Amino acid sequence: MNLFDVYPINPINIVKGQGSLVLDDKGTEYLDLYGGHAVISIGHTNPHYVKRLEDQLHQIGFYSNSIEIPLQKQLAEKLGHVSGKEDYQLFLCNSGAEANENALKLASFYNGRKKIIAFKKAFHGRTSLAVAATDNPKIVAPVNETDNVIFLPWADEAALEQAFQEHEVSSVIIEGIQGVGGIQVAPVSFLQKIRSLCDVHNAVFIADSVQCGYGRTGKFFSHDFAGINADIYSMAKGMGNGFPIGGIIISPKIKPAYGMLGTTFGGNHLACAAGLAVLEVMEQDNLLQNAAEVGGYLIDELKKFEQVKEVRGRGLMIGIELPEELSHVRKDLLFKHHIFTGEAKPNVVRLLPALNLTKAYADRFLEAFAQVLNSVKETV
């Protein structure tokens, strides 16, 4: 049997990881500033994480949501504490798309409405509602098409106000920093506007924090920079440091009912152990502070390169927009300097490293980046 060939891949076989480094099957070491797409939050094979998962595996790996799973309550408590959203309620699932799917569905249950406001260049996942709220027609199958989603221009307050006048809005879903869309930071005033319009119209504010959340920006949720609380935050990626786990946290104003949401795998023992290990390491090693410091340093240094068009982002979620003639930079970083980075079309290098990235590794990247840009200057 062949694999269903949907991923354009690099010819590299990673067989081991430690912290911010990974090794391929030939023993070549790579610096990982991509984290398998923002997933590796506390570093590869973190010893506390490995031990917690291993210990749990020896106890019990899985049982369904038909029984008490105290690890879920521990995770909820810890998450409330670390995120500062102590009075929210946690629902666990398995991925970012599922988290958004549940958030959008819950919003509709809450206010009985259908219309969803999403934004240009948004990415919210590939399940039916999540993909319908994703601004990329290529990945929306005919069966996913719906007129329940209204796409508005990014950060356009007047368009938002008008949409609220014209429609019975169920929810507004927005990434605090668009990831796939090219590292676009949502302006503070725009997030505040969404909050006030949702309040006036009893609509649900959904903060997609799948990529930009979980401490990556130096605050637990990047929407926190606006000093507002969303009604639902969706999370996944960094939550399990590679173990598949996602979730939504839900404001106390939205009340649960038996059967309203559900999942087989969500919140299983192993997933909770992974989630707890991540939060324990984050807290113990002050990873939010590290993300803010090392990320701030990288952003400041990157702004000094004259060939760079723009540097965007917060903390360790950084986009480096390059001119078209530098479209090979990512490949050079990977194949000549052995540094993994992410990309956003058309020409943005995305940095999404582990939150405990050291300044020394940041410097290693900056030196390699300077060399790649200098080699271009020399050949021109």
Ligand X SMILES: Cc1ncc(COP(=O)(O)O)c(C=O)c1O
Placement of tokens 């307050």 in the chain: 157
Q: Which stretch binds ligand X (CB under 6 A): 92-100, 137-145, 183-191, 342-350?
A: 92-100
Asked if 270 touches ligand X (CB under 6 A), the answer is no
Structure tokens at 34: 């991509």
Asked if 210 touches ligand X (CB under 6 A), the answer is yes
* Least distance between ligand X and beta carbon 370 (Å): 29
* Least distance between ligand X and beta carbon 19 (Å): 23
Closest Cα to residue 205, out of 214, 219, 192? 192
State how far the alpha carbon of 133 is from the alpha carbons of 150, 351, 362, 380, in Å. 8, 25, 35, 43
Three-state secondary structure call for residue 225: helix
State how far the alpha carbon of 238 is from the alpha carbons of 2, 118, 186, 227, 300, in Å. 30, 23, 20, 22, 24
Radius of gyration of the chain measured on its C-alpha atoms: 21
How far is residue 126's CA from residue 155's CA, in Å, rounded to a whole number?
24
Asked if 100 touches ligand X (CB under 6 A), the answer is yes
Neighbours of 1 (CB within 10 A): 3
Within 228-267, the residues that bind ligand X by CB under 6 A are 236
Q: Which stretch binds ligand X (CB under 6 A): 122-130, 252-260, 272-280, 329-337?
A: 122-130
Asked if 271 touches ligand X (CB under 6 A), the answer is no
Indicate the pairing of strand 232-235 with strand 246-250.
antiparallel
User: Between residues 97 and 279, which has the closer beta carbon with respect to ligand X?
Assistant: 97
* Least distance between ligand X and beta carbon 98 (Å): 7
Would you call 45 exposed, middle or buried from its count of C-beta atoms within 10 A (0-12, 13-18, 19+)? middle
Q: Which stretch binds ligand X (CB under 6 A): 94-102, 257-265, 328-336, 362-370?
A: 94-102
User: Between residues 184 and 211, which has the closer beta carbon with respect to ligand X?
Assistant: 211
User: Between residues 172 and 308, which has the closer beta carbon with respect to ligand X?
Assistant: 172
* Least distance between ligand X and beta carbon 212 (Å): 7
How far is residue 339's CA from residue 40's CA, in Å, rounded to a whole number?
15
x/- binding map, residues 312-351, to ligand X, per CB under 6 A? Answer: ----------------------------------------
Indicate the pairing of strand 310-314 with strand 89-93.
unpaired
Closest Cα to residue 316, out of 305, 326, 302, 327? 302
* Least distance between ligand X and beta carbon 85 (Å): 19
Residue 296 backbone dihedrals phi, psi, to 5 degrees: -60, -40
Asked if 275 touches ligand X (CB under 6 A), the answer is no
Contact call for residues 177 and 184 (beta carbons, < 8 A): yes
User: Between residues 123 and 340, which has the closer beta carbon with respect to ligand X?
Assistant: 123
Element (H, E) at 155: none
Q: Which stretch binds ligand X (CB under 6 A): 103-111, 207-215, 305-313, 324-332?
A: 207-215
* Least distance between ligand X and beta carbon 238 (Å): 11
Asked if 17 touches ligand X (CB under 6 A), the answer is no
Asked if 125 touches ligand X (CB under 6 A), the answer is yes
Asked if 101 touches ligand X (CB under 6 A), the answer is no
Return the amino acid letter for 56. Q
How far is residue 214's CA from residue 230's CA, in Å, rounded to a whole number?
15
User: Between residues 187 and 293, which has the closer beta carbon with respect to ligand X?
Assistant: 187
x/- binding map, residues 173-202, to ligand X, per CB under 6 A? Answer: --x---xx----------------------
How far is residue 270's CA from residue 276's CA, in Å, rounded to a whole number?
10
Name the residues that contact ligand X, by CB under 6 A: 95-97, 100, 123-125, 175, 179-180, 208, 210-211, 236
